[in-house]
């Protein structure tokens, strides 16, 4: 009792310090320093929230991105030399009161990040009649400090230093006010209004149009994986996608009838080309703009949508439907939203057609949105959602449109978070009505925390061009480093007409398309889509034609790698991992990879170097600290040097890190056609290695209840011993016995996936096995 009373006295104590007021608050400290009040709050030993606001005005704020609640963190407070220091087991955070400067250091005293002195700014601002501020804060970065993140951008930058960026969501640009430093920390600026990011010789600054306070989170991870895991801890974990979604998905703008859509699936089956998803783009609702996005099959060429979906399912495929957040005035959703006063004021695409966006910030509006999705689509068997234009699209933009009062304040105040709340509404509602079908959402925009909603983004309506293809790589990696693990792009680029007249019949376009498809094998979703020309594989010719054969090879490669990809996805869900990995994530001491934005790791074993030109060779860098084995030939290469790899049209340069263990699945026509009871296990010798094979029921949420299995595998390189550990976990229908074909990749032969010249076959029944490989 005495200890409790003493603690309460400390918590309530106001300590005068140099004319200031310092008080302990829950999980931190509050300092009233002149005209500004500063709060430092521990969310964990490695996550600190910093709030600053004008004294006497304590703002209330519920974060849209942050879902973590502060932990009961053990910390110490020190007061010395006009400085308050909060110390956890991982960090020290100090506030120099005279300079109004917060500084973050690690437990060894190394400075990680510091604010510029007296650089917080609150400029009074009238936001549609509400008195608030334009807010800013500046920071000091090391001169050679590389930073990443900020969302997804198309300028081809990897390192995001030395630029100015006006962050307002638009097609092809996803703005997330978050930087990820090579020093092992992230800073998330928790503001949803348009924000200008600036980095120059004077410092790095976030300046937002609207804010009642300066509010940011400092996340320390020690390295890229730790940072990303911390961001997930802060903003939400990524659930598992259905296994089928990692297969090949076909789309175009657009299938004009249900017969055409089903016919495409049948054609793939007839050709024995693997396929798991078919996508219906717009105008299934009809051609009149007044019917825009009716979320109904009003188009007479879709007379029986349930039959269409039943036929797709009977062919062992899945369907995705395009839905927008905007509605034409003749649609039932529009009328429903209007009746409840839930339509925003501005018009959007198509221009001058009366189409308006719903107020996704309002829970009632999200209920209405889902009601129509559920009644018209989900109830008849639709498998997944393509939530297009979630920026949302704004055409034309007028400043007064931002005055519109959403459920959470002016549109100006919450503009950039629209995709987060709109996508989140669909996820939350589907989870309440079904547990046997995982939510799978494809969306054009995103904001911090969106990974928790079963969504992955694509890069928007990009143009078919070689430089655009190259820029997709750094765009994807920076997006991943912003904390959102799944990303993809339209294979071949959305627009083709200006660059490649003739489309699929143009050999120049065929080459670009094949190279883009090779890249897409190693992204979150392998998805063909675009306008101006159809994209199905049979549009490119027949077997024996190079463009056809190269695509078939890549689609089959994707399916053979599904055990590796799905296990990597479990690492994303269970450990806050990343699928597309910037090279510095795995090789932080190699200075040459810090600004390398055209190659990456896919999972923790495979280095991917996409071909992004018409050349038949590719220069690439193999990071130091390990050796590398050519995926296609088995040839060993030393790291720490640049090499040139021949790249004929059917080859994408791939290198596997020594010590890797890669499971290879069967040849299939769809992801779940065959159980994984006969897997090839490829061992890449040269270092010790470990892999965890993950399996579950594929398309429900039983894994959240512990219904899944993991099988740990290790390779001892010195002893040449491969060990398979006892199977952990279980679920209904799990395999009780399987055959593992263990292949040692030693560079002696050509090593395509079917080469098993040095293979040991073992029967695994869930018990530990030790296998000696000579």
- Of the residues 391, 401, 549, 598, which is catalytic? 391
480 and 579 Cβ atoms separated by less than 8 Å: yes
CA-angle at 83, arms to 79 and 88, nearest 5°: 65
The 10 Å CB-count burial string (b at 16+, else e) for 530-563 is: bbbbbbbbbbbbeeeebbbbbbbbbbbbbbbbbb
With cut-offs at 50, 70 and 90, classify the pLDDT of residue 754: low
User: Which residues have C-beta within 8 Å of that of residue 531, sequence separation ≥ 6?
Assistant: 252, 253, 494, 495, 496
Q: Which helix (H) or strand (E) holds 7?
A: helix 2-12
Task: Say if CB 95 and CB 117 are below 8 A apart.
Answer: no
Q: To 10 degrees, the CA torsion angle through 207, 209, 211, 213?
A: 20
Does 725 score more than 90 pLDDT? yes
Task: Please pick, among 100, 347, 388, 393, the residue that the annotation labels catalytic.
Answer: 388
- Mean pLDDT score, 47-59: 94
| Domain 661-772 CATH assignment equals 2.60.40.1180 | yes
- 338 catalytic residue (yes or no): no
Q: What is the pLDDT of residue 19?
A: 46
pLDDT-derived band at 347, boundaries 50, 70, 90: confident
Cα–Cα distance for residue pair 382/668, rounded to 1 Å: 23
In this prediction, residue 397 carries a pLDDT of 78
Q: How far apart are CA 367 and CA 172, in angstroms?
A: 28
Phi, psi of 334 (to 5 degrees): -55, -45
Whether the pLDDT of residue 750 is over 70: the answer is no
Look up residue 553 and give its two tokens: 């090879």
From 52, 47, 27, select the one nearest 91 (Cα to Cα). Answer: 47
> Could you tell me what percent of the chain has a pLDDT over 70?
96
| DSSP-assigned letters across all residues of 263-307 | HHHHHHHHHT----EEEE-S-TT-S-GGGTT-SS--STT-S-HHH
Q: Which two tokens stand for residue 145?
A: 């400090």
* Over residues 619-630, mean pLDDT: 98
Closest by CA to 648, choosing from 570, 575, 747, 546, is: 546
Structure tokens at 700: 């429900």
- 388 is a catalytic site residue: yes
pLDDT at position 13 over 60: no
One of 461, 549, 552, 696 is an active-site residue; which one?
Answer: 461
HSE-up of residue 127 (Cα within 13 Å, Cβ side): 27
Q: How far is CA 159 from the centre of its chain?
A: 18
- Dump pLDDT digits (tens) for 581-616: 999 999 999 999 999 999 999 999 999 999 999 999
**If you write DSSP's letter for every residue of 613-628 in order, what string do you get?**
SS-SEEEEEE-SSSEE
Give the residue-averaged pLDDT of 622-638.
97
**Given this chain, do its domains 282-439 and 661-772 carry the same CATH topology?**
no
> pLDDT grade, residue 84 (50/70/90)?
very high
What pLDDT does residue 20 have?
Answer: 65
Report the alpha-carbon distance of residue 416 to residue 399 in Å, rounded: 15
Cis peptide before 235 (omega within 30 of 0): no
Report whether pLDDT(11) > 60: no
Percent of the chain whose predicted confidence (pLDDT) is above 90 = 93
Long-range Cβ contacts of 76-80 (<8 Å, 24+ apart): 77/24, 77/29, 79/15, 79/17, 79/22
- In this prediction, residue 622 has a pLDDT band, given cuts at 50, 70 and 90, of very high
Per-residue pLDDT at 621:
98
Nearest residue to 448 via CA among 645, 178, 703? 178
- Report residue 395's pLDDT band, with 50, 70 and 90 as the boundaries: confident
Query: Per-residue pLDDT averaged across 86-104, rounded?
Result: 97
Tell me, yes or no, if the pTM score tops 0.95: yes
Domain boundaries, the chain: 2-235, 282-439, 661-772
CATH class, 282-439 region = alpha beta
Instruction: Give me the pLDDT at residue 708, please.
Output: 98
Segment 224-239 mean pLDDT: 98
Q: Which one has a higher pLDDT value, 17 or 201?
A: 201
Q: How confident is the model at residue 173 (pLDDT cuts 50, 70, 90)?
A: very high
Classify domain 2-235 at the CATH superfamily level: glycosyl hydrolase (family 31) (2.60.40.1760)
- Taking residues 52-62, what's their average pLDDT? 92
Sheet of 759-764: strand order equals 661-664, 678-683, 738-744, 759-764
Active site annotation includes 690: no
Q: What is the pLDDT of residue 351?
A: 85
């Amino acid at each position: 009792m005495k200890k409790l009373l003493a603690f309460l006295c400390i918590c309530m104590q106001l300590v005068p310090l140099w004319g200031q007021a310092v008080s302990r608050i829950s999980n931190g400290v509050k300092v009233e320093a002149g005209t500004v009040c500063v709060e430092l709050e521990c969310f964990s030993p490695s996550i600190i929230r910093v709030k600053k606001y004008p004294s006497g005005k304590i703002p209330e704020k519920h974060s849209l991105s942050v879902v973590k609640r502060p932990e009961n963190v053990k910390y110490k407070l020190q007061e010395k030399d006009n400085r308050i220091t909060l110390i956890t087991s991982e960090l020290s955070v100090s506030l120099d009161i005279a300079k109004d400067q917060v500084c973050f250091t690690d437990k060894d005293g190394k400075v990680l990040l510091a604010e510029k002195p007296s650089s917080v700014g609150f400029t009074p601002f009238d936001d549609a009649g509400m008195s608030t501020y334009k807010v800013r804060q500046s920071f000091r970065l090391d001169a050679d400090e590389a930073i990443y993140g900020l969302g997804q951008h198309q300028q081809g930058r990897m390192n995001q230093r030395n630029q100015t960026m006006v962050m307002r969501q638009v097609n092809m640009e996803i703005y997330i006010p978050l930087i990820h430093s090579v020093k092992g920390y992230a800073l998330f600026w928790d503001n949803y209004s348009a924000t200008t990011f600036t980095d120059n010789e004077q410092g790095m600054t976030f300046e937002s149009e609207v804010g009642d306070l300066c509010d940011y989170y400092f996340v320390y991870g020690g390295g890229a994986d730790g940072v990303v895991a911390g961001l997930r801890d802060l903003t939400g974990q990524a659930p598992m996608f259905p296994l089928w979604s990692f297969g090949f998905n076909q789309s175009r703008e657009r299938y004009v009838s249900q017969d055409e859509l089903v016919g495409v699936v049948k054609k793939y089956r007839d050709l024995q080309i693997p396929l798991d998803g078919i996508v219906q783009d717009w105008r299934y609702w009809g051609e009149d703009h007044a019917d825009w996005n009716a979320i109904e099959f009003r188009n007479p060429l879709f007379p029986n949508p349930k039959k269409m979906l039943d036929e797709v399912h009977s062919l062992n495929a899945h369907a995705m439907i395009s839905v927008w957040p905007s509605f034409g005035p003749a649609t039932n959703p529009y009328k429903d939203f209007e009746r409840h006063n839930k339509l925003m004021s501005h018009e959007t695409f198509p221009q001058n057609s009366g189409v308006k966006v719903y107020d996704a910030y309002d829970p009632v509006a999200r209920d209405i949105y889902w009601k129509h999705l559920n009644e018209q689509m989900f109830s008849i068997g639709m498998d997944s959602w393509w939530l297009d234009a979630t920026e949302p699209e704004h055409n034309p933009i007028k400043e007064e449109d931002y005055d519109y009062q959403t459920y959470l304040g002016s549109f100006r105040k919450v503009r950039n978070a629209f995709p987060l709340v709109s996508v989140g509404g669909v996820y939350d509602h589907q989870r309440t009505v079904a547990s046997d079908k995982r939510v799978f959402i494809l969306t054009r925009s995103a904001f911090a925390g969106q990974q928790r909603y079963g969504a992955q983004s694509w890069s928007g309506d990009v143009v078919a061009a070689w430089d655009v293809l190259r820029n997709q790589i750094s765009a994807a990696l920076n997006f991943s480093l912003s904390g959102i693990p799944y990303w993809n792009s339209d294979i071949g680029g959305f627009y083709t007409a200006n660059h490649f007249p003739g489309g699929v019949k143009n050999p120049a376009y065929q080459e670009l398309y094949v190279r883009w498809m090779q890249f897409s094998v190693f992204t979150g979703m392998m998805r063909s889509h675009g306008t101006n020309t159809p994209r199905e594989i049979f549009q490119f010719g027949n077997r024996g034609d190079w463009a056809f054969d190269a695509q078939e090879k890549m689609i089959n490669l994707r399916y053979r790698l599904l055990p590796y990809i799905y296990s990597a996805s479990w690492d994303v869900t269970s450990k806050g991992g990343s699928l597309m990995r910037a090279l510095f994530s795995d090789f932080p001491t190699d200075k040459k990879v810090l600004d390398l934005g055209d190659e990456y790791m896919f999972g923790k074993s495979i280095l991917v170097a996409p071909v992004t030109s018409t050349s038949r060779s590719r220069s690439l860098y193999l990071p130091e600290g390990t050796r590398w084995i050519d995926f296609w030939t088995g040839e060993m290469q030393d790291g720490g040097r640049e090499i040139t790899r021949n790249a004929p049209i059917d080859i994408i340069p791939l290198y596997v890190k020594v010590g890797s263990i890669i499971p290879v699945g069967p040849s299939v026509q769809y992801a779940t056609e065959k159980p994984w009871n006969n897997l090839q296990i490829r061992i890449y010798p040269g270092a010790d290695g470990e892999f965890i094979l993950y399996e579950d029921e594929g398309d429900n949420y039983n894994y959240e209840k512990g219904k899944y299995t993991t099988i740990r595998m290790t390779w001892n390189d010195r002893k040449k011993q491969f060990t398979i550990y006892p199977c952990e976990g279980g679920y209904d229908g799990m395999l009780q016995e399987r055959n593992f074909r263990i292949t040692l990749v030693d560079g002696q032969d050509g090593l395509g996936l079917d080469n098993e010249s040095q293979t040991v076959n073992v029967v695994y029944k869930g018990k530990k096995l030790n296998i000696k490989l000579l």
